[in-house]
Amino acid sequence: MEYRNLGRTGLKVSRLCMGSMNFGWTAPEENAYRVFDAFVAAGGNFIDTANVYSRWAQGNPGGVAETFIGRWLKKTSVPRDQLVIATKVRSRMGDGPNDEGLSRKHILDQVEASLRRLQIDTIDLYQAHWYDGNVPIDETLRAFDDLVHQGKVRYIGCSNYPAWRLMQALWTSEQLGLARYASLQPHYNLIHRAEFERELRDVCTVYGLGVIPYSPLAGGFLTGKYRKGEPPPAGTRGVDSPRIKGYLETETSFAAIDHLRELGRARGKTVAQMALAWLLTDPLITSPIIGANTVEQWNEIAGALDVTLSEDEKKELDELTKWES
């Protein structure tokens, strides 16, 4: 496993980040323990979660994934200081008017809840899950800054921010001398590029933010399990996901799959491994967030770590999925 600095910070994170949105939703707690064990055995040190995971599943109240991680941390032999634990705040966590958002109250309430569930003293990376247009950015950043000074949070980051809001946050931190976002979690993969590449990529490059893409396999589409002209397999997200249904109707998406399959065949690699290799070959990408319901799925994903696309191969894939500026 290789490691990279998170943006311009000195924090080193593994080249793959283990996500946890699926735990308590599509995978039970015992699977989470096995996957985390296999991940750290391979050298992984970066685990991402959110307070809301998985509130939408089976009436869960939220905090399920954090709770699983907390219990696993108490069981594992890996020292706490060898792991980088990231979580997020913003989502609705109750029925009250202050039970969501990026207000000072909600942030301070939720950080305590996350620390309890994770059973840790400090969150390594605390992230705004998406921006809150109803709260002044300085209020959010002052709350985060206070948590850093209190030692409850080491670094702060954001997810799903538009470029203008990210720039506003960076400028506010600089002007007021507050902790600044060290990283961005964008929705980014081979067939979903414009959202990040249009403006956010340049912001991250110029200001030295770490880039931690989520959905690097396009919700499973870039595993090659979907076939052109055929209905999505039963039990897959393609059955009810509008986004994946959109991919199923797009010629370029299947052209990308075909090319990934061809590149992988020459290396003995799967479509999913080659799709991850497209991200890992990009020097701007810090650590894609992957999800695995089983150890077998993690083992396949890990096979992407030893793949490096040539400049020509990456350009070919870029050309296949280019977007109009």
What is the set of active-site residues? 53
In the 3-class helix/strand/coil scheme, how is 19-81 assigned residue by residue? CCCCECCCECHHHHHHHHHHHHHCCCCEEECCCCCCCCCCCCCCCHHHHHHHHHHHHCCCCHH
Tokens of 161: 């921010």
Tokens of 134: 């109803």
Q: Which amino acid is at 23?
A: F
Cis bond leading into 54, ω under 30°?
A: yes
DSSP-based three-state secondary structure for 246: helix
What does the alpha-carbon distance between residue 231 and residue 162 come to, in Å, rounded to a whole number?
34
Residue 80 to residues 10, 16, 197: CA-CA distances in angstroms?
A: 18, 18, 35
DSSP class of 232: P
Residue 6 to residues 61, 190, 270: CA-CA distances in angstroms?
A: 31, 22, 28
Tokens of 254: 């299947």
Beta strands in 147-196 (DSSP E): 153-159, 181-185
Q: Is 233 left (phi over 0), alpha (psi -120 to 50) or beta?
A: beta
